[in-house]
A = this chain, B = another copy of it.
């Protein structure tokens, strides 16, 4: 599939200003229209596909998704978070001016009479709108929902136009770095809990970056653009970053070289301490405030037993404009995992950063942008890169040839002989009423073999077999599908035909929620 149009533009030099991708899209649209016009007889061919950059989740993917969600939500709840939800679209103006250049990637709804609406681009801006609108000044909440970006998707790397975001944020005026440290602790717990291999959490501070630019002689009005060049250090070598600073952004060579020295530094609390003594750096009040906070952060992370994975890294410069303090990003460091997800894809320019699975920071000014009086609500938060994690988990399951169960059925009610539909329906109903997850085939006379095959295919651990003899004896034969062990469930006392008197649900407990068999 050709998601990348750029390489093909060359062959079209006779049509300046138009790309092959644009032509493709126009053709697709015209064909779609044609199908609709010609289709009034109800017999036209549908284009059977999902919209570009989107996908269905099949039951196997959903089982993995649920498992990931349950780990993550479990962690958020352990930390006392509430949850909220906001609509999938917002007033267009709510999103205006929040995403800089990326605004062009926002999906707008058609003007059908009424308000101008756009699909949400992230969960942070709706969160800030929610806080300002409801005058909330204190909340610890998570929000897991899909967001929308008209990006050129690279779906083989787990990037889509419709994708989940999974955000945890703490809003409120608190003592320095305590909520910030909890966010990092949460990243630590989640990435450990998901068992994705080793990881590292890089931290830095917007104030340290700004202070560094100042003491290195970057003009004030170039902070943001130089910062976004530094942000590329995880994707390209220093030499190229330096070239961009000097040649494209017009920075002096001296300034670039001084930046180069700082951004190569990595360490822990010791590095923060050293930089506080650094002759140049210590001239910036901003940088000093940031460095003191990094020290405080590490002291809290020690109490949280989380320093093993955290690195103070001066090259970390997350793109988003709204960060005001600490910023962080977690990356998977096991090459294996990162490689799997790029192999299927030709372009390699993003392969280095494939390991990024979480990121966030402090944004003390955003909510104030929505408040009529500009009242600020300090916030710090983290976003878990859940789509990337889904992809990795799916690849892992495939690589291990794991059989992922897509239902939680504990027992299949089957019969060996014909004409026992009523007895099967009655038994399965008793099981449902007792809270047991049970299934029955929707056939009058299914073959025993096909009933057992269904158990094996979908991983149902137990089968309850009804037969003439069992009915006569008033028992049900329970068979463990994997071992073929059988036992006559004597405690299932049957009278008359098969009205079950007592049934102890606990006997099924050991077969509860076996996801992977």
Give Cα A433–Cα B186 distance, bound, in whole angstroms. 11
Q: B residues within 8 A CB of A97? A: 39, 42
Q: Which of B78, B115, B426 has a CB less than 8 Å from the CB of A52?
A: B115
Tell me whether A29 and B116 are in contact (CB under 8 A): yes
Tell me whether A51 and B90 are in contact (CB under 8 A): yes
Q: B residues within 8 A CB of A432? A: 78-79, 185, 189
Q: Which of A171-179, A255-263, A466-474, A478-486 contacts B (4 or more CB under 8 A)?
A: A171-179
Q: Which of B132, B172, B406 has a CB less than 8 Å from the CB of A82?
A: B406
Give the oligomeric copy count: 2
Q: Which of B84, B134, B141, B437 has a CB less than 8 Å from the CB of A78?
A: B437
Tell me whether A48 and B129 are in contact (CB under 8 A): yes
| A16 in contact (CB, < 8 A) | no
Q: B residues within 8 A CB of A215? A: none
| A58 in contact (CB, < 8 A) | yes
Q: B residues within 8 A CB of A28? A: 114-115
Please name the residue on chain B nearest to A429 by beta carbon: B304
Q: Which of B45, B85, B139, B179 has a CB less than 8 Å from the CB of A442?
A: B179
Q: State the main secondary structure of chain A at its contact with B.
A: mixed
Q: When A and B form their complex, which 8 residue pairs have the shortest distance between CB atoms, in order from nearest?
A: A174-B442, A59-B82, A54-B87, A80-B439, A57-B85, A108-B110, A178-B442, A303-B425
Where the two chains meet, the residues of A that have a C-beta atom closer than 8 Å to any C-beta of B are 22, 25-26, 28-29, 32-33, 35-36, 39, 42, 45-52, 54-59, 62-63, 65-66, 77-94, 96-97, 107-117, 119, 129-130, 132-134, 139, 141, 146, 148, 150, 162, 170, 172, 174-175, 178-179, 181-182, 185, 189, 300, 303-305, 369-370, 372, 406-409, 421-422, 425-426, 429, 432-433, 435-439, 442-444
Please list 9 pairs of residues, one from A and one from B, whose beta carbons are closer than 8 Å in the complex, sorted by A's number: A33-B116, A48-B370, A51-B87, A56-B85, A59-B141, A78-B437, A108-B109, A181-B425, A303-B422
